[in-house]
Structure 1
Amino acid sequence: MNHLYEQLLNKVDVGIHVINDHGKTIIYNKKMMEIESMEASDVLGKDVREVFSFNENQHSTLVHTLKTGEVTKGVRQTYFNNKGQEITTINDTFPFLKEGKITEAVEIAKDVTQLEHVIKENVLQKKNTHYTFDRIIGQNEEFLHVIDEAKRATRTTSSVLIIGETGTGKELFAQSIHNGSSRSHTPFIAQNCAAIPENLLESLLFGTKKGAFTDAIDSPGLFEQADGGTLLLDEINSLDFDLQAKLLRVLQEKTIRRIGDTKDKKVDVRIIATMNEDPAEILADKRIRKDLYYRLSVVTLYIPPLRERKKDIMPLAQEFINKYNVLFHMSVREISEEAKILLHQHDWQGNVRELEHTIEGAMNQVIDEEVIQSHHLPIRLRKRYQDGHKNRIIPEADPKTETLKDKMEELEKAYIRQVLAEHQHNITRTAKILGMSRQSLQYRIKKFGI
């Protein structure tokens, strides 16, 4: 049984630290070693007050529970290990009693050290907002229309909801709206709502009042820091319903209340929110309040995925070539025709971000050359379209075809015809295989006369 208990202690994904009535460690599991960057031999059998150190006016929650018998839950604690490394955890601490006497104190800890560094170094500082509309690259008509809609949104302070798959450039649009508005000289702060645990996100957004909980200090939240400017809330649908209700109140009343405070404070913040899923599905699944959705979607921008705007691939690829020429001290000029075909065939599930990484990877393979060839591209593209589609119908080059555009359209027509035939002309299944909407497929069928 002792062996079983030891195995269980080292399998759980939380830190477990137990001290006896003398303050010496008797249990210290593997996860706790990872959190505190220490070995068991550094801690077991030793007094925790001699191993760990704390800032002035702070103390060990373990020792506090051992002395008082108090049970605490969700307490944030920052301290230092024996190497002076800062550790931050969220702790549940409770005593063990025998015949009314405290014999041990137990702490269950979750690591938020990395999260604290992200907040300090990135989130709580004004973001580097260098994107403007003139840096948004695209020739697709639908995409250009979205840019025009976004430019019109710079004239007001209405909330904006940007919808688009991961990697389509939602923050680029958000920054451009901010920089094109009268708030361009005020703070722009971005926060991914899915990246922060729920028990920290509320205090991060609204701030804390000293004494609200153990070790709580007077700390402004993101709304206060963005006062007068813009707050970008990425993946807004990941907020829990209680927090969504509080956010809705802030949007309606234009006031916030720090956790533990009794007073409201006025804030002037423009909200730009993003979703990477279809709002209809999110609403149907009840992952966002309808009243909050309608409040956020005063202006709604839908950024089409890269697979639906293939004519933007080459201008974007050239922009990334220029970027990495500077970074890598290279002089690549262009992409070969064969490589262009491979790029156009790809479905780009990672969108513009995937394209950028593809070009960066290709340029890492280039040696004293000025043209990116097909063999420079990642193997996943080459294997899929050169080897994986040997049985596909690929039209031979027509000597009368003069432009790449004509050749690409012929290739696209043949590929759509092939996939339609393989799926008995079922529009829904074919669209799914091709990675496009039914409407986009129907448009192409009509366009190509299939």
Structure 2
Amino acid sequence: MKKILVVDDDPFLARTLELYFRGKGYEVLVSNAGRRGLEIWQKEDPDMILLDVQIPDLDGPDVLAKAKEEGLKGDVIMITAFHDTEATLKAIGAGAADYLYKPIDLNSLDLLLEKIVVQRKQRERLAKLSYVISESHKPDQIIGRSAATLEIIKAIVRVSQTPTSVLIEGETGTGKELVARTIHHAATPEEPFIAINCAAIVGNLLESELFGHEKGAFTGAVQRKIGKLEYAGQGTVFLDEIGELPLEFQAKLLRVLQEREFQRVGGVKTLPFNARVIAATNRDLGKMVEEKTFREDLYFRLKVFIIRIPPLRERREDIVPLTEYFLNRLNQEMHKRVCRIPNTYLKALEAYDWPGNVRELQNVLRRGLILSPNDVLELDEGCLHSSGPDKASDENRPDDILRSLEDVEREHISKVLRHTKWNYGEACKILGVTRPTLRKKINDYQLPIDLES
């Protein structure tokens, strides 16, 4: 790090910081206003920027936001007074590396500077040891390269050529609705796709929801309602979680599938039903038939063509392409530019069993993007381990060795900092302390910054 930009309208503080950094051998650029500071940032490409929250003509968070929009580089430390908490949070959310309170403590600044230098070296190292994600995936497509995924795609191609009913089986989060939508778009892309979560609709409302009702059919029916079966036209009705369908309603659904017609609740007119039915379940319907909780005749009517989606742990070859797909989509959604995954994280993703399947993978990556301040993915590794915390150090320590409270605190803070890779925000959450308190402890205990551990 060779060049530092200080943007602050306090001439005494700006001069102090200028002399301080020059004494450490840095080239120092100074501005007392936001727009001029942004111009210098654009022209000089500094390695680090100390940016005051409240400065003339364009405040610090807005300067940072514009710099990020233009793709300007450099680690940003916000300088703030205690009453600027809201603006500080806004700046951290926009990509500031950290912040310092006024009056500035030079010891804290030293620690922060050292931390940023080490983090920059780590990012450069990770960039060389990381997987660059592809941007070739199209939206809403089935992602994967495993043999199981290829078989699912083949099955979709076959069944989309006929109007037959389909039953999709798979654990929660495996992508059953995506498969249903893919069948629909391959067969009748211009027609409606009507999704119904059978577990989310109260039993006594289900008939009205699917079939519709006439005015006056029951208390509260003040006008005619068109049901979802009627809306579907010649498209697709997707019955998600079909195993949750009340037993008394199953007979009514069976009649619709057999006769291909229905009536609105309270109506006398028979309406044709021309849509394809795709049902999905995470339960064993065959076992439910044996237990008399699901009608056997409805089960056989639905399972004309079955597509089984294996859990993600049984098709690990799909994890990398799914990760690429979700990162691209989440980058757009969250206005991020994460394009590299450290190989250690990639191996952890591939080794994890994913009890929540594809949905859990998406949520882990979403949290990772929140934690990632630059183009390298940062993951909360704790969510990828099912085992408890490492207790080896405590178990191997003789019981008769009694240590001071100071030693215990020093070791614990050091352990938390190593675990969070010296991320002050995460460390403060775990320790339950403020940043100034954490910095004071680091200074008091003279803890060495080590991001390699």
Q: Shorter-chain-normalised TM-score: which range?
A: 0.5 to 0.7
Deviation sequence 1:390-432 (CA, Å, 0-9, x none): 9xxxxxxxxxxxxxxxxxxxxxxxxxxxxxxxxxxxxxxxxxx
Deviation sequence 1:138-179 (CA, Å, 0-9, x none): 111022101110111110100011011111111101111011
Counterpart secondary structure, 2:200: coil
1:137 is aligned with what amino acid? Answer: I
1:348-367 to structure 2, matched below 5 A, reads: 348-367=354-373
Pick the aligned partner of 1:272 from 238, 256, 278.
278
Shift in Å, 1:286:
2.3
Cα separation, 1, equivalents of 2:382 and 2:392: 14
Counterpart secondary structure, 1:256: strand
Count, aligned residues: 256
What are structure 1's unaligned runs of at least 5 residues?
Answer: 1-130, 391-450
Cα separation, 1, equivalents of 2:227 and 2:167: 22
Pick 1 or 2: higher relative contact order, CA cutoff 8 A, min separation 6. 2
Q: Equivalent residue for 1:135?
A: 141
Structure 1 residue ranges (4+ consecutive) displaced by more than 4 angstroms after TM superposition: 131-134
Pick the aligned partner of 2:353 from 329, 347, 350.
347
Instruction: Give % identity.
Output: 44
TM-score calculated relative to the size of structure 1: 0.54
1:169-184 to structure 2, matched below 5 A, reads: 169-181=175-187, 183-184=188-189
Q: Equivalent residue for 1:381?
A: 384
1:24-423 to structure 2, matched below 5 A, reads: 135-181=141-187, 183-216=188-221, 217-368=223-374, 370-373=375-378, 376-381=379-384, 384=387, 387=390
Q: Equivalent residue for 2:430?
A: none
Counterpart secondary structure, 1:335: strand
Deviation sequence 1:222-249 (CA, Å, 0-9, x none): 1111121111011111112221101010
What are structure 2's unaligned runs of at least 5 residues?
Answer: 1-136, 394-453
Cα separation, 2, equivalents of 1:132 and 1:152: 22
Deviation sequence 1:233-274 (CA, Å, 0-9, x none): 111111122211010100111110111122322121110100
Q: Is the 8 A contact 1:283 1:290 kept in 2?
A: yes
C-alpha spacing 1:299/1:383, structure 2 compared with 1 (3 Å): closer
C-alpha spacing 1:158/1:326, structure 2 compared with 1 (3 Å): same
Q: Is the 8 A contact 2:342 2:376 kept in 1?
A: yes
Counterpart secondary structure, 2:160: helix
C-alpha spacing 1:334/1:265, structure 2 compared with 1 (3 Å): same
Deviation sequence 1:88-147 (CA, Å, 0-9, x none): xxxxxxxxxxxxxxxxxxxxxxxxxxxxxxxxxxxxxxxxxxx99981111110221011
Deviation sequence 1:358-388 (CA, Å, 0-9, x none): 01111111112x3224xx2252225748848
Cα separation, 1, equivalents of 2:334 and 2:279: 35
Q: Is the 8 A contact 2:197 2:240 kept in 1?
A: yes
Cα separation, 2, equivalents of 1:343 and 1:193: 32
Q: Is the 8 A contact 1:318 1:334 kept in 2?
A: no
Q: Is the 8 A contact 2:140 2:178 kept in 1?
A: no
Counterpart secondary structure, 1:300: strand
Cα separation, 2, equivalents of 1:213 and 1:221: 15
Cα separation, 2, equivalents of 1:264 and 1:342: 57
Q: Is the 8 A contact 1:237 1:275 kept in 2?
A: yes
Shift in Å, 1:345:
2.4
Cα separation, 1, equivalents of 2:346 and 2:388: 12
Q: Is the 8 A contact 2:195 2:240 kept in 1?
A: yes
Counterpart secondary structure, 2:243: helix
Cα separation, 2, equivalents of 1:134 and 1:219: 31
Q: Is the 8 A contact 2:352 2:385 kept in 1?
A: no
Q: Equivalent residue for 2:56?
A: none
Q: Is the 8 A contact 2:243 2:283 kept in 1?
A: no
Cα separation, 2, equivalents of 1:146 and 1:158: 17
Cα separation, 2, equivalents of 1:270 and 1:307: 31
C-alpha spacing 1:154/1:284, structure 2 compared with 1 (3 Å): same
